[in-house]
Amino acid sequence: MQKPAKQALTFWLIGTTLILLALGSWLGMPNTPEGTGEAMGRVIAQTGLPAFLVWWHARSRNPLWSWMKFGSAYVVAVIAFGLLATMGRAHAEEPLPFEATFAQAWTVERLAGVSSAPQDQAAGVRQRARLNRADGAAVIEIACSWLRPNDHPDVRVQLSGVVNGMSDGLSKQDITLDEGTTSALSEGHRAWWQVNLRAHDASGTRSMQTIAMTSTESCIATATLTGTPQAYALQASEFASVLDHLQFHSTSSK
């Protein structure tokens, strides 16, 4: 391996390690594995791209750059990319198109996209609240998937598609998804379609879930409560309260 490549790899590893240590020690990592994965991915990208660009610039220099010179250029590049990324996120992270109210015990965070899949990053926004207690864990997630102009989807059909996709995915893990009756309800002066689900395998019930879906002027809104059986039963009233107080803001489709 040539010297510039060794320098780029070394400083990339050092930069990534230092930033991850800072996140873990002082700033704190996100509260969910999904959020942690997204944060680590951003760190690796924002330290790797500067290393590549400095390597590209230094690889044909004669004489080759010293470790001090390469490292100084890399630090400047990392800072510049960090500032650009911060400015980009500040511009892109607009207010959520909804306002959800959770009890104080819940840990709430905003996640990118309507799912962690790359193709869903620009498809909408979501907010997740997590509760971990001795009786189990529960998660409430609110997501808005942007509608195209003149889109008028059938919410019940959309909900059925979500459930079918979940069932297919779980079946590949030898987990069966039992689907309850899809019912209409009114919460917070808004009509929702709702279904209750139970995921189980040979060892018993893995999780319980309620999915509620409605449409707004700009998005398909999906609210889910997922939890271990005991936690799910205990937090069902909290989920109903969140739906009842959920407020949507008027905004244009993305």
The length of the chain in residues reads: 254
Q: Are strands 247-248 and 98-99 parallel, antiparallel or unpaired?
A: antiparallel
Q: Which residues of 68-104 are buried (b: 16+ CB within 10 A; e: fewer)?
A: eebbebbeebbeebeeeeeeeeeeeeeebbbebebee
- Residue 39, both tokens: 């944060």
Pick 179 or 22 by higher pLDDT. 179
Indicate whether 94 pLDDT > 80.
no
pLDDT bucket at 36, cuts 50 / 70 / 90:
low
Mean pLDDT of 202-212: 93
Structure tokens given for 8: 């780029």
What DSSP string runs through 158-202?
A: HHHHHHHHHHHHHHTTT-EEEE---EEEEETTEEEEEEEEEEEET
Q: Chain-centre distance of CA 57, in angstroms? A: 35
Strand (E) or helix (H) holding 207: strand 204-215
Which helix (H) or strand (E) element contains residue 226?
Answer: strand 219-227
What is the pLDDT averaged over residues 116-139? Answer: 84
Mean pLDDT over 3-13 rounds to 91
Contact 35, 111 (CB under 8 A): yes
Q: Are 141 and 239 in contact (CB under 8 A)?
A: no
Tokens 């610039």 sit on residue? 57
Residue of higher predicted confidence among 170 and 254:
170
* Mean pLDDT, residues 225-231: 93
What is the CB neighbour count within 10 angstroms for residue 139?
Answer: 21
pLDDT digits (tens, 9 = 90+) for 148-175: 888 888 999 999 999 999 999 899 999 9
Q: Using a cut of 0.75, tell me whether the model's pTM lies above it.
A: no
Residue 75's nearest CA partner among 22, 12, 21 is: 12
Per-residue confidence band for 28, with pLDDT thresholds at 50, 70 and 90: low
Q: Which of 30-44, 74-88, 179-193 has the highest mean pLDDT?
A: 179-193
Cβ count near 14 (within 10 Å): 14
> Considering the chain, what is the average pLDDT of its residues?
85
Structure tokens of 204?
């018993």
Residue 84 near residue 77, CB atoms below 8 Å: no
Binning pLDDT at 50, 70 and 90, where does residue 26 land? Answer: low
CA 72 to chain CA mean position, Å:
34
